[in-house]
Amino acid sequence: MKKVVSLTICLLGASTLFASSSLITKAKDNGLVGIPSSNVELMKLIDDKKDPITKEKVELGKKLYFDPRISKSGLISCNTCHNLGLGGADGISAAIGHGWTANPHHLNSPTVYNSVFFKAQFWDGRSPHLADQAQGPVQAGPEMAAPASLVEQRINSIPEYVNEFKTAYGKDVKIDFEKITATIATFEKKLVTPSKFDDFLNGNEKALNDEEKKGLALFIDKGCTTCHTGIALGGTMQPFQVASQYKFMNIGDFKGDKNGMVKTPTLRNITETAPYFHNGQIWALNDAVKEMGSVQLGIEISDSDANEIVTFLKTLKGVKPDISYPQLPESSIDTARPDSK
């Protein structure tokens, strides 16, 4: 009798292991990719040979990311809308910028975490990479409202910043707007958040429990990986409102790019980045899942199925880099004064 019981347990264990291995294969076959556990392999994905990541550039980029002096008013930093303590977003429906101005298109601030993996930046995908993207909000009137020349003047007027740029790039560095924003982008490239989902995809079958695996399988079977795929589970341009109209489409005037394509939001850390959708109109993740079923897949996702999918989505909450708020270099008498107008 003991032999029979033992054999049964072994068979059940083998069955569970096979099921997990099969689900990993299924996930990968549907385009899901894990963040590499090896830093060497990760750097191959995020580094740029033309502008390699160094600790000096990252530290300088962090200071610039948190420095409100790159905004016209001297009040708004990159971290204002992409708060690293709030999932890399701001937790409100429409971003608020210069002069307490709400985004004129009622656009929600996307997370900056894992943005290095996005194939396109901004909701309309108009920037191809982070260095280009960083230039937009700084200059945009409803956001930071700082002309490139003003940003250059302020940074070059601060001796400590000048010295740090020389340390990071060499004594002959030209500290222009492109170099400043590219340095911010270098810091952002390091904002990668591996989770237990990545452990699972990288071969640890026990990283997810049975309910989480069930949610992942349902996520795939329902067709969610049609858009939420790749290492970011998003970040690519996709058609929007494929099957039906998004019920809050009348909030704001955003319609996507010229072809009606919209950047798919990453699902990493999705539990931290409510409200959802480009105009931030849905606050409950279960409701967002059901709305996507209707709008994109043309199916009705039940409450129970939505709950199962959300159980999986919770596994995408990753480990954040340990980032302390930097002490910023002091302004000089020559630094351009804040301007709130």
Check whether 78 is labelled as a binding-site residue.
yes
**Catalytic option among 41, 59, 143, 211:** 143
Spatial separation of the C-alpha atoms in residues 229 and 233, rounded to whole Å: 4
In 3D space, the residue among 61, 42, 45 whose CA is nearest the CA of residue 168 turns out to be: 61
Check whether 261 is labelled as a binding-site residue.
no
Check whether 10 is labelled as a binding-site residue.
no
Handedness of CA 225, 231, 233, 236 (dihedral sign): negative
Spatial separation of the C-alpha atoms in residues 66 and 161, rounded to whole Å: 14
Spatial separation of the C-alpha atoms in residues 326 and 60, rounded to whole Å: 10
In 3D space, the residue among 118, 63, 72, 111 whose CA is nearest the CA of residue 91 turns out to be: 111
User: Do 192 and 321 contact (CB within 8 A), yes or no?
Assistant: yes
Check whether 81 is labelled as a binding-site residue.
yes
Quick check: is 143 catalytic?
yes
Check whether 292 is labelled as a binding-site residue.
yes
Check whether 228 is labelled as a binding-site residue.
yes
The count of other CB atoms within 10 Å of the CB of residue 270 is 23
Check whether 82 is labelled as a binding-site residue.
yes
Residues recognised as catalytic: 143
Binding annotation: 78, 81-82, 98, 224, 227-228, 292
Known binding-site residues for heme c equal 78, 81-82, 98, 224, 227-228, 292
